[in-house]
Structure 1
Amino acid sequence: MMGFWFTEGLSFLPIGLGVWTTATMVTTYIMAVLRGDVVPDFPYISDTGDKIPESCVFGQMLNISAFLSLGTMYVRYKQVEAMNQTNSRGVRLLNKVGLWVGLLTSVGLTLVANFQEGNVKTVHFIGAALVFGMGVVYSCLHTAVSYRLYPAYASLRLCRARAAITAVGALAMIIAFGTAMSANYQWATHEHAHDRLHWQPGDPGYAPHVASTISEWIMAIAFLFYFFTFIPDFQLTEMDAVIRLKWEELSETSPLIT
């Protein structure tokens, strides 16, 4: 029986990750703006989940995104492992490093989800650095893997697309962090009648602040598009679980069974 294209193979993982994470950002943005907790003009993504009740929604939904991202990156690891038929040492190394980097990215996502900037700023910033920093590294690693698997398992167009998305994400990250430092420095030199969630055009550092927030949104969208490039590969990928029962060993050693 023919199914829908998004149910083919394991493609539901990157699709689910992209759709769910997008829904998370849109939902908390709408909630935060309607409640007046942030300004509508390009707040930071995590700022939309800083106040209750949107922080609860943001945390729960982003935790699911972290689970989906880890699942996607693990399947990608096993997929590349199977594709590496020549047992290339370079591909094997890039793939293993990519798995650990992906794990750090997912951990960072849970930190961003559960430690809001307004409550535990240091942990939140560590999480953001892991998500975006390790996210760029992961993209670089698997772009390199794609080129090494060309032409057997990756087209040149796909390799170039992943390289372009990686470049956009890396550039956006540099701009986001650089302009954020400039904006925060200018903000700190003046007193304000409102908090950082309500930047106004007349505030010192407003221009670099907006440049930083826009860059963060671009960076997040770039990462989601990168995972979407996995969809064609995942449509042709299946995984089987091997279950081994050690019942005889258990029955000999467990007093509850004997």
Structure 2
Amino acid sequence: MLILHCLISGIATMYVRYKQVHALNPEENLIIKFNKAGLVLGILSCLGLSLVANFQKSTLFVAHVCGAVLAFSMGSLYMFVQTILSYQMQPKIHSKQVFWVRLLLVIWCGVSALSMMTCSSILYSSDFGADIVQKLHWNPEDKGYVLHMVTTAAEWSMSFSFFGFFLTYIRDFQKITLRVEANLHGLTLYDTAPCPVTNERTPLLSRDF
């Protein structure tokens, strides 16, 4: 349930961000294209996160790695696209400070990703033992211990850069309000033609960010 909650929350956050950018730039073709690309990349990243959580390294290594690659690569591209959008929208809509903070987080993510890919490639391509893929507990005297620690630290570093990037949405989301309305198109659920009815205007979901 926790995994499902995180997955839904991530997709919901990216969708709200997509709708916000679209509302602020309804006629900017370049921004619209980047905005749509960002939404797709964000959803793919959440899908990869789900694969990582549901397929453990010790049980199904291929699915776990594919999920990790999908989550981190698509997540990094999502951050990069959103940073481009921040650049395109500043200073009229976005402040320059927000753009620079997001750019620094993207650079942090890129350095972490490069370190993780380099060390993990060396670790799994070298002769450090046949059971290295399934190995869960490492000791300092084990072969490849340093590479393993650097890879793990880089992976966590990327995760924290993701968290930091999403925290930059706080000020943006304080400027919007979510509300869901039910609009009735007929007196029954089986009407084939629209007929005038009084729409339900009671907010189903209302929250100020």
**Normalized against structure 1, the TM-score is what?**
0.69
How far did 1:157 drift?
A: 1.1
Matched, 1:149 2:95: no
Q: 1:137 to 1:153 in 2, by over 3 A?
A: same
Q: Aligned residue for 2:152?
A: 213
Matched, 1:198 2:137: yes
Given the alignment, which residue of 141, 154, 170 partners 1:231? Answer: 170
C-alpha separation between the residues in 2 aligned to 1:101 and 1:80? 15
Work out which structure has the larger RCO, using CA pairs closer than 8 Å and 6 or more positions apart in sequence: 1
Contact persistence 2:128–2:144 (CA under 8 A): no
For this pair of structures, how many residues does the alignment match?
191
How far did 1:209 drift?
A: 1.1
SS in 1 for 2:139: coil
Unmatched runs of 5 consecutive residues or more in structure 1: 1-59, 254-258
How far did 1:184 drift?
A: 2.4
C-alpha separation between the residues in 1 aligned to 2:154 and 2:177? 36
What residue identity is the alignment partner of 1:121? Answer: F
Contact persistence 1:146–1:154 (CA under 8 A): yes
Matched, 1:75 2:26: no
**Which one has a larger percent helix, Structure 1 or Structure 2?**
1
Matched, 1:111 2:51: yes
Given the alignment, which residue of 135, 148, 153 partners 2:75? Answer: 135
C-alpha separation between the residues in 2 aligned to 1:81 and 1:95? 7
**Over aligned residues, Cα RMSD in angstroms?**
1.9
C-alpha separation between the residues in 1 aligned to 2:61 and 2:129? 21
**Normalized against structure 2, the TM-score is what?**
0.85
What residue identity is the alignment partner of 1:236? Answer: K
C-alpha separation between the residues in 2 aligned to 1:250 and 1:192? 59
Seq. identity, %: 32
Contact persistence 1:169–1:218 (CA under 8 A): yes
SS in 2 for 1:239: strand
C-alpha separation between the residues in 2 aligned to 1:252 and 1:191? 66
Contact persistence 1:104–1:130 (CA under 8 A): yes
C-alpha separation between the residues in 2 aligned to 1:192 and 1:97? 40
The equivalences for 1:42-53 within 5 A come to none
Unmatched runs of 5 consecutive residues or more in structure 2: 193-209
Q: 1:191 to 1:81 in 2, by over 3 A?
A: closer
